Structure 1
Amino acid sequence: MRLDKKIYNLLFVGLLFFGTATFAQDSGDSLNTVKIIGLKLHKGSVLIHSRDLRPIEDSYPTGIELDLAWHKISQKAWESCHCYPRLGAALTYWGYDNKDVLGQGLTGLFYLEPVFNTQGRVNYSIRAGFGLSYQNSPFDSISNPDNLSYSTYWGFPLQLGGSVHFRIQSRWMLNASLMYNHISNGGIRQPNKGINWPSIGVGMSYYLEEFEFKERAITDWRALGPLEKRWDFTLFLAYEEPRENLFLFSPGLEIKWSRQFARINAYTIGGEVMYDNGTGYVLETLGEAPNSIKAGLAAGHEFLLGKFLFSQQLGVYLSNPNPEHPQVYQRYGLVYRVDKTFNAGINLKAHGHVANFIDFRVGISL
């Protein structure tokens, strides 16, 4: 299979990064964190969620994944979820099985993966990942008019799924996974219906040093402290490029209430208002008076993973002047808590299977 030159170069840089990170001296405490390298083969099937995507039906992507992870095995990590979570980076080459339309791609994902049942020979985990990707065959009205899935070389991949791990030796694991994968450009440029495909994967992973998952007491999570309750006040900035050389930035404010109800779970209720220049552009092209104010209410869920929050929300618009958008939307976010007050992260807003935009955000929690 012939690789696009840009993909080859990016793959080389990625491998160089993985090799450097793998063999560099560990500056952390090896008793608390263990490094892992892994290799996995994926096979998937593209989902057709719109009649416009018929040209890519019967496409079965194949992926080769190189994985580097840091497995947290400390008492503090255990107390966060009654599990041993790991943080990792996955570099995956994808052949989309439709080279004339979808081409090939390379994804780089940062992920969080809590691992459960670590005292047994068989354990299981849940993974949520977000990152950057490169695809070599975007939409072109002349050379590639059938590709309505993406229109930029760069995109934003999401991944959510689970894995089963079988410990065959002290450092070796056999892994099987089921993942849901999504790539789009975050609504930066149209068309942007995205590529959505579930995949199954089989691979091996190797721990770079001897370790053990210590058996620790299962305590009542309520005894570790009071329930986490907080108000989040967040400023965000979305970016779109509806046509070439037109760059639109849309600011917004979100206010959200979060309340913990289990060890790593919280529910959220909130609202947002934004000055959506993308909506203003759509109305102007339709010959209507521009109206850029959008507002909505949303309820959702958060995974509380130490300094990281992974959120999912379902919202309904209170004000939605954009005729191209339905009244219901979803949000998926990854936030890093610098401390108890300040945080920063990214968020994807979507309407069904179609991404609206990516935004970057900073906030305070009270």
Structure 2
Amino acid sequence: MDVIVKTRRGFEKIAASHIGEVLGPGAEVEPAPFGYLGIVFVKAPGSDKWALAQLIAQKVPEADRVLVVEKLVPADPAEIEKAAVEVAKRYINPDDTFAIRTTRRGSHTFSSIDINVRVGAAVKEITGANVDLEEPTKPLYVEIFQDTAAVCIPATGEYRKLRRDKPLALGYLRKVALGQFVYEGDEEAVRKMGERIGRAVQTFEVGELTILLHKPVQGRALRAFIQAVEEGIESRYQIQVKSYGRAVWKVPVYVYELYQYVRAREGEPIVVTDPKGEYVTHVKEKLAELFSRERVNILIGAREGVPPGVFRFATLVVDLVPQVTIATDFVVPSLAIALISALEEAKALPKYTGRRDKKLRTLT
């Protein structure tokens, strides 16, 4: 093989077909080799494999990652280390950073971490480059297929959710105490709206949600709304617990009467969302000042807005999208995105600086 293409599982044949069309009849394209999904082998005798890889990267969107095979060796740690060092000598400079990315397929007496540690130590010694497991300038891939290991250089970049200098929003969202008016209507509509609101507040892991009453509400409607909100929170929370690599905050739910809530939060920042307010980015400096406090209370209406009398007790009244009245189930996502954007513009958010995993750096 000259090039290994990684694609979504189930897209191997589609990707292989498009690769064959792009490269022409001289190319040998094998989808799902050895039955491994998400993989396509490409070989084109007599062609420049880097040119092939670049062409695939440019023309085939099904190719999530394109790897140029520099060495093929038996799947033995000593052989892999030797081959990786040879590749690294011409690929990695002392002022680069690198990481070893190993994927095993098949049964072996060693793990992917074993290869990462062994090869990483050898590459560091021979090149003098530093290890950066998060954002290496020169990642080196080891793709193992049963008895064969391929040492590869990527022809496509790496994408990561959290990169250095990205703003960190979660701590600021945790300061948000939402006051959400009860949504009224037929029971089915109330349940759907409540579940959507619950999923939204849990998605952003706000500090708390208080369901606010500002007039008499039918007990059945209130019960349905609260139950649906809690079901939405639980549904999203379970997904987060399974998929996140960190602890997840489960949003607590309270019920309070609006005017007593405002009195109880006297002395704390209170922000009202309403089209009559200032555009959120125009008050970004004030918002940054408010978010230096432990808790920021934000009131959200439902069908009818927050009563104007409450505006006098608010620290700020903000408009999230001028000329647009946002549907109730879209307010929380719109609010969270607008707040974080405004705080970032005000340079109030801390930046991600990378993990400081001394143990891994020592091992590699």
> Where on the TM-score scale, by shorter chain, does this alignment land: which range?
under 0.3
Larger Rg: 2
Determine which structure has greater relative contact order: mean sequence separation of CA pairs < 8 Å that are 6+ residues apart, divided by chain length.
Answer: 2
Higher strand share: 1
TM-score normalised by structure 1 residue count: 0.23
TM-score normalised by structure 2 residue count: 0.23
Higher helix share: 2
